[in-house]
Amino acid sequence: MRKETLVSRYARGLVGALRGESELAVVLRELAAVAGLLRTNAELAAVLKNPFVPRKNRNQIIRDTLAACPRCAKAGRFLELLIEHNRLGILDDILLVVPALWRERQGVGTFEVSSAVSITPRQRERLQAELERLEEGPVFLEYRLDPGLVGGLSLRKGNIIYDVSLQGRLAKLKEKMIEG
């Protein structure tokens, strides 16, 4: 199974189990702490990812690690699920996807906005207002700089890309010229 599919399934399952913003914040904080610990402690990561170490031992390590926080039972169960299916290696990717899925569940569309230069606050306001009008609801915009763009913007919502960059327009012009 493809990694993106696995990440999406586990992230959607986690989001479906959460009951509110406060629980989301606690679970994400605890999962991020464990992910950071796994990045900095290679021995711990190796033990938790090793399928030859009995699952009950790996789960006990997770329970001991999270014992200081009584509110993170869901984080612990989620980590145990990842260990059970040998998927702990995708934890960082899941943590990247969960916020967008949470916003989606709340009815907020998420757009990735790429531009060659920084967008001014006024331009951001106008872009957000226009996208909210088109989407007929609230949107969340994630901005990133892409030096590969010559000018303009590239917007991405899920698998849909709206390319209004100069580079995109030139590519379309090239296609038309080749078609004759």
pLDDT in tens, 74-117: 888 898 899 888 898 899 999 999 998 999 898 898 898 988 88
146, 115 contact by CB (below 8 A): yes
d(CA 177, CA 23): 55
Q: Does 170 or 28 have the greater pLDDT score?
A: 28
Express as a percent the part of the chain with pLDDT over 90. 29
The per-residue b/e assignment along 70-100, b for 16 or more CB within 10 angstroms, e otherwise, is eebebbbebbbebbeeebbebbebbbebbbb
What pLDDT band is residue 133 in, cutting at 50, 70 and 90?
Answer: very high
Q: Where are the domains of the chain?
A: 3-103, 107-179
Q: In one letter, which amino acid is 61?
A: I
Express as a percent the part of the chain with pLDDT over 70. 95
Q: What is the mean pLDDT of residues 45-72?
A: 79
Could you name the CATH architecture of 3-103?
Answer: Orthogonal Bundle (1.10)
95, 123 contact by CB (below 8 A): no
Position 68 scores a pLDDT of 61
Position 146 scores a pLDDT of 86
Which residues lie below 8 Å from residue 38, measured CB to CB, with a gap of 6+? Answer: 44, 45, 48, 88, 91
